[in-house]
């Protein structure tokens, strides 16, 4: 009985082994079926180009590798430096392994497990050659096995020098440059045989990620650092000595001007190219025949490019500001419709290939103020809350900074901002302070709202850069932190949509060469702020009468007949950055003006003169494309406290005697709970109370008749 049972188990196990064996044999046959013979390597032709379109899918913005630029050269025409640099960065064990570097594979697997990513590769030069010549770009286990088999066949049929020569003739260096000869001519304007050691190292550094490290892209510093890393690896392998290393590191490499054929919206296209390369890999982007339909509205983009270039030329002549940037967004969808990163992408003198919109971190000036006022509304303050616009010292260091402001005191420990026109207006409302961009009132608003609360709201609305909160004080409301134009546009779009944030997007659809969808736009709306508070901000910023005191003769640039348009301007104290953020229910447009090298403009080059004309010219050309929409009116917010209800005088009782009082807001309420009962147990407990109260009383003495005899009894 026991023998019969054992026999059955043995037979069953044998069947299982045979089935598994047959399965694996079948899989192996399937894997090697159709593998090309490695002798065909010289007949290799790369595959399809990737095309980037505007939102219609009809206007071609750019074609990646639409026409390959390749010149085959003999091995003896390739400089020894170029070969050694490539080995040093791509496959240091090239001359010792037989197609596959087991140590490199193990190291790559370990790194990918640690990082939970597939960023680290372990492919040898031979494997890369096999993949680029014979295989698809799909990342899967079957392709990896086929790649490995082909690599062994190649190693069997060719010697190391032949493999390396073929590799250097086939590999992509980006920007349509296939092979080292094409790369040398495209980027450096010389033949490969004339490359210096430093130039050879730089080209070798491109291979890993040609789009990211492109000499014409926005990561040139990183490319130069990678060049130095290649040189250090060459020194480590004894390919060069210490003197050669140091000399090559110091060499000033001269690049050819970019000539990338017909390209539309270059800053936008290069952003898209970097995005898809990071997500899908350079191989698929450069050879996989993707169709990328973006959100860009080409008609708007053409207008944007023209008005930015014209505006920057005007600013250069008038205010020594050579550059500008513009972003237009559909606030109802989050889709970017136009993006001009600099006035001229191809102008090296202004560092034109730098995308100010997405890469520039600039102080936003007063365009940050609405976030503070919004945070104050959340705390319970009203649009009619009274603040005193009087000379005010905000530093509480009494030894250095007197409460009565001395504007000649330039001690950096002191903080007593002035207004753009040097005037102080006395009692004003929240809405006047915001609409007319009054600095003292806005700093007080930030203090009342709280810096953390304000930053929380700004981040919810789309500001991504203000992460180190220890850096920011009350100057934040005047632009004391760095933001990106594209983030500001996204945040102001939230105001436009009454607190609803739509995920900012650049892509409508990406298809592979089989017509299969890789990704597609999907709206993801989220209510991030209370809609009535957003309506209050919209109501203030779109009120032409309220902002008229700020714009004076330029007011007409902000008015669009038949349309509700809100806007906020901002200028940094040093005139390095001028901004305008404008929006309606259907479009949000942001403009920055200045210099890419951070040089300040002339003092007259503020937002109203340097940025608003560009913004206005753009909006006037596109606004008629949209039906008129108006902002919804907010529900009114009132309070039983006079200071919150638009009155700067209050009747208070003291020992049964009533009298009129004039004080700053901190006298009447707890700043964190403005609507709660507050019996003034000790207003001086607030660290800012004396700073704010003393100049208010001084103002009252000089401006209110009989103040000393009839008030504050």
Domain 68-258 has CATH 1.10.3810.10: yes
| pLDDT tens digit sequence for 580-631 | 999 999 999 999 999 988 898 987 778 889 999 999 999 999 999 999 999 9
| pLDDT tens digit sequence for 557-587 | 999 999 999 999 999 888 899 999 999 999 9
Residue 17, exposed/middle/buried by CB under 10 A (0-12, 13-18, 19+)? Answer: exposed
| pLDDT tens digit sequence for 284-324 | 887 788 999 999 999 999 999 999 999 999 999 999 999 99
Q: Which helix (H) or strand (E) holds 650?
A: strand 650-654
**DSSP of 671-683, one letter per residue?**
TTBTTS----S-G
- Is pLDDT of 457 > 90? yes
- Is pLDDT of 535 > 50? yes
- Is pLDDT of 119 > 50? no
What is the predicted pLDDT for the residue at 677? Answer: 78
Average pLDDT over residues 415-435: 93
Q: Which helix (H) or strand (E) holds 370?
A: helix 369-379
| pLDDT tens digit sequence for 248-257 | 999 999 998 8
Taking CA atoms, 607 is separated from 307, 422, 578, 594, 689, in Å, by 16, 16, 4, 10, 33
In this structure, what token pair is assigned to residue 441? 């009132």
* Residue labelled with tokens 């560009």: 614
Domain-by-domain residue ranges, the chain?
Answer: 68-258
* Mean of pLDDT over the chain: 87
Residue 299, exposed/middle/buried by CB under 10 A (0-12, 13-18, 19+)? Answer: middle
- How far is Cα 537 from Cα 372, in angstroms, rounded to an integer? 11
A 10 A CB-CB count for 60 gives 15
Is residue 592 within 8 Å of 577, Cβ to Cβ? yes
- How far is Cα 59 from Cα 48, in angstroms, rounded to an integer? 19
What is the predicted pLDDT for the residue at 552? Answer: 81
- How far is Cα 494 from Cα 527, in angstroms, rounded to an integer? 9
Residue count of the chain? 713
Is residue 518 within 8 Å of 359, Cβ to Cβ? no
Is residue 52 within 8 Å of 272, Cβ to Cβ? yes
Q: Which pTM was predicted? A: 0.77
Identify the three-state secondary structure at position 53.
strand
Average pLDDT over residues 253-270: 84
Return the minimum-mean-pLDDT range out of 20-24, 174-178, 223-227, 668-672. Answer: 20-24
């Amino acid at each position: 009985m026991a023998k019969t049972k054992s026999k059955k188990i043995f037979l069953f196990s044998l069947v299982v082994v045979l089935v598994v064996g047959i399965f694996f044999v079948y899989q192996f046959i399937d894997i090697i079926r159709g593998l090309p013979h490695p002798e065909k390597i010289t007949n290799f032709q790369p595959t399809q180009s990737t095309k980037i379109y505007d939102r219609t899918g009809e206007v071609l913005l750019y074609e990646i590798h639409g026409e390959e630029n390749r010149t085959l050269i003999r091995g003896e025409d390739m400089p020894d430096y170029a070969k050694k640099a490539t080995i040093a960065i791509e496959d240091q064990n090239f001359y010792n392994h037989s197609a596959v570097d087991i140590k490199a594979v193990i190291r790559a697997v370990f790194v990918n497990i640690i990082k939970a990513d597939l960023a680290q590769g372990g492919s040898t030069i031979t494997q890369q050659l096999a993949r680029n010549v014979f295989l698809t770009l799909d990342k899967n286990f079957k392709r990896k096995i086929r790649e490995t088999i082909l690599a062994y066949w190649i190693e069997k049929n060719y010697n190391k020098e032949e493999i390396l020569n073929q590799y250097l003739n086939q590999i992509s260096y980006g920007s349509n440059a296939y092979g080292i000869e094409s790369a040398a001519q495209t980027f450096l304007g010389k033949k490969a045989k004339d490359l210096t050691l430093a130039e050879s190292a730089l080209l070798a550094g491109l291979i890993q990620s040609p789009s990211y490290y492109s000499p014409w892209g926005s990561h040139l510093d990183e490319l130069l650092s990678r060049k130095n890393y290649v040189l250090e690896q060459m020194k480590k392998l004894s390919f060069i000595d210490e003197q050669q290393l140091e000399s090559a590191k110091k060499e000033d490499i001269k690049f050819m001007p970019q000539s990338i054929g017909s390209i539309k919206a270059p800053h936008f296209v290069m952003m898209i190219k970097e995005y898809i390369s990071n997500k899908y890999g350079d191989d698929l982007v450069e050879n996989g025949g993707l169709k990328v339909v973006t959100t860009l509205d080409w008609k708007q983009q053409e207008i944007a490019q023209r008005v930015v270039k014209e505006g920057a030329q005007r600013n250069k002549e008038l205010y020594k500001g050579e550059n500008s940037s513009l972003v237009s967004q559909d606030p109802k969808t989050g889709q970017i419709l136009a993006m001009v990163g600099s006035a001229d992408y191809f102008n090296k003198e202004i560092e034109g290939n730098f995308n100010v919109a997405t890469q520039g971190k600039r102080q936003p000036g007063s365009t940050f103020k609405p976030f503070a006022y919004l945070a104050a509304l959340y705390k319970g303050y009203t649009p009619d809350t009274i603040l005193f616009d009087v000379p005010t010292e905000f530093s509480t260091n009494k030894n250095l900074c007197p409460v009565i402001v001395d504007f000649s005191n330039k001690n950096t420990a002191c903080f007593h901002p002035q207004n753009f026109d040097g005037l102080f207006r006395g009692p004003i409302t929240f809405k006047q302070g915001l609409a007319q961009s009054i600095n003292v009132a806005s700093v007080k608003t930030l203090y009342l709202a709280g810096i953390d609360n304000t930053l929380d709201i700004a981040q919810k609305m789309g500001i991504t850069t203000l992460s180190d909160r220890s850096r920011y004080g009350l100057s934040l409301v005047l632009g004391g932190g760095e933001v990106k134009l594209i983030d500001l546009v996204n945040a102001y779009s939230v105001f436009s949509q009454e607190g609803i944030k739509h995920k900012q997007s650049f892509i409508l659809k990406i298809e592979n060469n089989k017509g299969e969808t890789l990704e597609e736009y999907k709206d993801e709306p989220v209510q991030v702020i209370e809609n009535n508070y957003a309506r209050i901000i919209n109501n203030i910023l779109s009120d032409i009468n309220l902002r008229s005191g700020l714009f004076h003769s330029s007011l007409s640039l902000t008015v669009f007949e038949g349309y509700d348009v809100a806007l906020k301007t901002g200028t940094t104290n040093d005139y390095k950055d001028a901004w305008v953020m404008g929006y309606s229910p259907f479009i949000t447009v942001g403009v920055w003006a200045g210099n890419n090298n951070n040089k300040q403009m002339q003092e007259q080059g503020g937002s109203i003169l340097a940025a608003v004309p560009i913004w206005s010219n753009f909006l006037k050309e596109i606004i008629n494309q949209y039906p008129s929409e108006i902002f919804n009116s907010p529900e009114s917010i009132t309070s039983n406290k006079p200071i919150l209800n638009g009155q700067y005088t209050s009747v208070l009782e003291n020992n049964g005697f009533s009298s009129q009082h004039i004080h700053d807001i901190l006298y009447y309420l707890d700043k964190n709970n403005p609507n709660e009962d507050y019996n003034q147990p000790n207003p001086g407990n607030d660290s800012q109370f004396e700073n704010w109260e003393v100049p208010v009383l001084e103002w009252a003495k000089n401006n209110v008749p009989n103040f000393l005899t009839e008030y504050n009894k």
